[in-house]
Amino acid sequence: AGGAFQASIVMPAAAGTVTVTATAGNAVATARFTVVEPAPVPSGTAKAIRFGVGTNGGPAAGAELDEVTALAGEAPSIVLSYKDFNQPAPIAELDAVRARGAETLLTWEPWTWGGGTAQPAYSLDRIAAGDFDAYLREWGTALGRWGQPVYLRFAHEMNGNWYPWAEGVNGNGTGDYVAAYQHVHDVVASTGATNISWVWNPNVPYWGSVPLDGLYPGSGYVDAVALDGYNWGTSPSGGSWQEPEAVFGEGIAQLRWLAPGKPVLIAETASSEVGGSKPQWITNLFGYLSAQPDVVALVWFHIAKEADWRINSTAASADAFAAALATRR
């Protein structure tokens, strides 16, 4: 018996091997390919990497942001915020961040917080069909009237399966994400808001994640691209310690292929303390990202959640962070 299949492959960021496996029923075929040259790194003058942070209280928690400033030895110039589809545009929070001399990375999530992945009211086809257009226009009008620069990342981590805007959950199918994203963008843009930088932000690719090439809405709909990626260490069952290049290398290569020339943000990252040296991981992270000329920002997830992701999970980690931040590109 014979057959053929077609798949897109993004070359890794370093020389090595790529293994392609095809499965049909009980039959499995594997082929290994040698990569003799790494994926190209964009040329040109690299900008300084901006430091950003997300905290429990978000933009309104001034004391938390002051704590981060003291720990890091530098005030964050980007502050991470999260809003679901039940909340108005957070103008007071945007003002609070701007008063600190920073900009907001505003995460806009089409769901009701805490409702799980089965939320048919927020299915992607309903968004694309216009069910939320009045709400979208309210946001666009409010942000445009505010008038200052804001990063807007709509429906992030769409290549996973833990949010109701992912394809394959909540009744969503192939192509629905792009249709919804483009519709949201167009409705907001129709209000005349020109101060919004649209950030397309998948999770770092992993085995079983949805391929990114079917989720990218196109260059005209995206001002910057971003990745969320964490070193979970051995804290999850079966987890393993991952160095920064292992976390981000493949994802950065794919973003360069999909969105050449777009600036890259690391919109969420942090490391567990369990399974290795977090201080060394932090040092390595800043070194690795400083060598990527298109990476323009790093936003640290300063929250004890699934693991203790905080900068100061230990004194040694806090010291390493301040030292690495001071010597970054």
**Average confidence (pLDDT) over 230-240:** 87
CA–CA separation, 315 vs 84, rounded Å?
34
pTM of this prediction? 0.89
**pLDDT of 46:** 85
**pLDDT of 43:** 72
CA nearest 135: which of 188, 194, 199?
188
Mean pLDDT value across the chain: 93
Tokens of 66: 């002051």
CA–CA separation, 56 vs 76, rounded Å?
15
Q: Name the active-site residue from 103, 167, 268, 273.
A: 268
The percentage of residues in the chain with a pLDDT greater than 70, rounded to a whole number, is 87
Contact 301, 311 (CB under 8 A): no
How many Cα atoms within 13 Å fall on the side-chain side of residue 163?
A: 22
**Average confidence (pLDDT) over 245-274:** 98
CA–CA separation, 230 vs 138, rounded Å?
34
CA–CA separation, 8 vs 3, rounded Å?
17
**Average confidence (pLDDT) over 96-120:** 98
**Average confidence (pLDDT) over 279-302:** 99
CA–CA separation, 286 vs 55, rounded Å?
20
**pLDDT of 18:** 60
**pLDDT of 11:** 54
**pLDDT of 203:** 99
Q: How far apart are the first and last CA of the chain?
A: 55
Residue 65 sits at the vertex; the CA angle it makes with 62 and 69, to the nearest 5 degrees, is: 135
Alpha-carbon 299 to chain mean position: 9
**Average confidence (pLDDT) over 215-227:** 99
**pLDDT of 28:** 55
Tokens of 274: 């369990």
Choice between 151 and 13, residue whose per-residue pLDDT is larger? 151
pLDDT tens, position by position, 6-41: 555 555 555 555 656 565 666 656 565 656 565 677
At residue 113, does pLDDT exceed 90? yes
Burial of 196 (0-12, 13-18, 19+ CB in 10 A): buried
**pLDDT of 47:** 86
* DSSP, residue by residue, 237-301: TT-----HHHHHHHHHHHHHHHSTT--EEEEEEEE-STTS-HHHHHHHHHHHHHT-TTEEEEEEE
Stated as kind and residue range, the H or E segment containing 206 is none
Q: Name the active-site residue from 157, 167, 245, 273.
A: 157
Q: Is 167 a catalytic residue?
A: no
Q: If you compute the radius of gyration of the chain from its CA atoms, what whole number of angstroms results?
A: 20
Place of tokens 């909540």: 170
Residue 5 has phi, psi (to 5 degrees) of -140, 165
The domain segmentation of the chain, as residue ranges, is 1-39, 42-326
pLDDT tens, position by position, 58-79: 999 999 999 999 999 999 999 9
Place of tokens 């933009």: 59
At residue 3, does pLDDT exceed 90? no
**pLDDT of 27:** 60
Contact 149, 195 (CB under 8 A): yes
Contact 322, 73 (CB under 8 A): yes
Stated as kind and residue range, the H or E segment containing 200 is strand 196-200
CA–CA separation, 7 vs 318, rounded Å?
43
Q: Is 157 a catalytic residue?
A: yes
**Average confidence (pLDDT) over 147-153:** 99
The percentage of residues in the chain with a pLDDT greater than 90, rounded to a whole number, is 84
**Average confidence (pLDDT) over 220-241:** 93
CA–CA separation, 74 vs 147, rounded Å?
26
At residue 89, does pLDDT exceed 60? yes
Pick one of 3.40.50.1820, 3.20.20.80, 3.30.300.10, 2.60.40.420 as the CATH number of 42-326: 3.20.20.80
**pLDDT of 62:** 98
Place of tokens 């992993």: 206
CA–CA separation, 36 vs 30, rounded Å?
19
**pLDDT of 307:** 95
CA–CA separation, 295 vs 262, rounded Å?
9
Neighbouring-strand partners of residue 231 = 271
pLDDT band at 45 (very low <50, low <70, confident <90, very high): confident
At residue 18, the 3 state secondary structure works out as strand
**Average confidence (pLDDT) over 184-212:** 99
**pLDDT of 41:** 78
